[in-house]
Amino acid sequence: MLGLLLIAAAAPPMFACDFEGPGPIASFDRAHRVDRFSIVHDPADAGNRALRVDVGAGDHYGGSLSVQTARRLPEEPRSLYFSYRLRMGEDWDPAQGGKLPGFGGTYGRAGWGGKPSNGRNGWSARGQFFTSRDGRVPVGSYVYHADMVEDGRTYGVSVPWDAALERGRWYTIEQQITLDTIGPEGGRGDARLRAWVDGALVFDRSDLHVRDTDDLRIERVWLNIYHGGKMPAPADMHLLIDDVVVRTERPGPQVPP
């Protein structure tokens, strides 16, 4: 059952998966480390099915799923909305920050894994979790942007949101990105990235420089779960994901389930 209430006039989503049907992982366009995935009935969510992602002690990977926009739209978009529901397990106690679902335009070239962006080779804006603080897990975005080489950076930039999540509780996470307008000298540094948690706006930046060419678009929605940085998980950890929805327009008022 989808955990979002959408207004009646909302257009059909580009992609939606609630993990209730047969073979839900196969509905995604790409999958990596599927051995870390399982479909479970969650008693904390009226027994609805969800995707469980495990990160083992001493490991980094929780796996990745991708929704490739070129397979579902006439062309890769410049702007996109993405929402999902998230519940961090009681064992989710990271020793270092790591990656959560977000957006990517890496094209197999740059924008992740120490492959820096230069505005023409690739970019990404994944979600991020941080180490626990006061019993909660702060979250944010992790951005590979067009100025990072000039700034002397090899890895992405952490951008905290005004949000910290309790373990064991379901949240609705929504993100939206609009890439730079391209001018005569490249990107105008007007890319906008926003995030909502349970319908409340927790992040809004409209001065990001992500690209310098229109050849870079939103290639995919990237459900990437990764512990680190360079530090592996200190113990077995897991989280649950449900109700993945990708849209070209924001559907309207949304409330937590």
Tokens of 217: 């678009």
Confidence at residue 225, expressed as pLDDT on a 0 to 100 scale: 98
Mean pLDDT computed over 182-196: 96
Tell which wins on pLDDT, 242 or 249.
Answer: 242
Tokens of 236: 């077995």
Confidence at residue 71, expressed as pLDDT on a 0 to 100 scale: 97
Mean pLDDT computed over 103-111: 98
Sorted by sequence, the CB contacts under 8 Å of residue 239 that are 6+ apart come out as 52, 53, 62, 86, 87, 88, 89, 92, 225
Residue 9 has pLDDT above 80, yes or no: no
Residue 7 has pLDDT above 50, yes or no: no
Q: Provide the percentage of residues in the chain whose pLDDT is more than 70.
A: 93
Mean pLDDT computed over 93-101: 95
Confidence at residue 252, expressed as pLDDT on a 0 to 100 scale: 57
197, 193, 201, 241: which is closest to 218 by C-alpha? 193
Confidence at residue 11, expressed as pLDDT on a 0 to 100 scale: 75
Consecutive H or E run containing 137: strand 136-144
Residue 155 has pLDDT above 80, yes or no: yes
Q: What is the pLDDT of residues 46-81, one digit of tens each?
A: 889 999 999 999 999 999 999 999 999 999 999 999
For residue 178, how far is the Cα from the chain centroid?
15
